[in-house]
Structure 1
Amino acid sequence: MTSIIPRSIRPLTLIILIISIVLIYGYLKILNIGDLTTMLLTIFGGKPLPGIMLKSLFIMTFLLLQYINVDYISFCIDNMECLSIRYESKKRWLKVMLTGSLVISAFFVVLFYVGILTLHWIWGDFEVLMINLDTFGVISRIYLFCIIMVLLQIYLSLKLSKSNTFMIMILLSIILSMISHYQNSIVGILPQYHDSLDNVVGNLVLVLVLILLIKKASFKKELSFYES
């Protein structure tokens, strides 16, 4: 896994992510959104997104998450048989794919956090450079949201073509941006500012459900290989 992940995150990918973070930060500054936690929540849909531009920022971030994971997911799925032999079992292949996606997603969230902190430092906002429990909680809920989206991406990639998966994820990002106003919904998956136990538990259950669906989908895909 450690040898696959670096190859899936190419220098061009990092450049695109860094440029995107700078552009997003600059636009939020123009809107006088300078608080670190508020910035992170706005970027990841944890705050109501009233304007088309804020919705576009969320959709852009959503697609960047898919973008940074797509090469790794595609490699694991397209080489499922070879990797199953390499890792000695189908279960270990699945574990490697899921673990790798979680690591890449964690890197994605940390990159956004560190990037915004760095830009704050360059901008001269030194008072926001201290992390507290509230910020840590927000970052954790953002990461949980990213896990859900990446697991859904894996499931769809096992069931559908890459183009169909991409279109469904775009449609989902648009829908999520439109329902960002409903922050108190128990079934909401967007990261909320206030630590809602129902929201966190619901998202953890959704993660488990998606993992079970991925296991089932990978088993069916393996059978289809043998049948063909």
Structure 2
Amino acid sequence: MAFTRELYRLGFEISPVILSEGIAQSIPGGMLPIVALTQSASFVSSLIGGSSSLTDLDKYFCHWSAMQGTTMIDYDIATYSFANQIVAANALLANPLRVSLLMRTPINENTGAMTKLVTLSALQAVLQAHANLGGTYVVATPGVIYSNCILKTVRDVTGGNETTPQSQWLWDFEQPLVTETSANQAVTNFLNKIDAGDKQTGSAWTNTASALGNTALGSGVTSGINGLISSLKGTFGI
């Protein structure tokens, strides 16, 4: 039971953020836990190996907690005009999901003021590089695990009563409606439909270009369509 509790804390309190692709693209699996940036690799390895001197999670550099306002489902009801009122009554517009985590960085016997300065400065540089490379995040909360998230802001929310300045940082993530993978898939499906032909009626399928036959007009249209398809595939890297 104690081991399970420690794993739970490790996953949701110590390292609930995972960098995906971006700077982690060369790592097997394409993922890098945030704890690898906030703690030394040897420290993490010793913890996983069961070293008794490294199992005090309270002395880790930072501790995370999910904040209120995280959305599981978010829709807007369409208010613009529809020709069909039945459709209008059931029209929902999906919104991106939002998730916020609070990162606390207390000063303790393992984390001095200079260690904190160096760690946060290095973390800032890594996060900026990750964004420049198009990287995303996996964010784990006790209720829901969000994938393909984008980090929007990291800001200081330390209260005025705190004795240690800049010890609480709010991370705001957003899960977009369309990811790069799904966009590429949509374009691929669209191009495949153009290449295979347009569905006319029932189960009959016909190739638009071939339907014009071997006429001069048909040959010109066929060449034009094939050129368009090749151009689109080259543009989207398909």
- TM-score by shorter chain over 0.5: no
Normalising by structure 2, what TM-score?
0.25
Q: Pick 1 or 2: higher relative contact order, CA cutoff 8 A, min separation 6.
A: 1
Q: Name which one, 1 or 2, has greater alpha-carbon Rg.
A: 2
Normalising by structure 1, what TM-score?
0.26
Larger strand proportion of the pair: 2
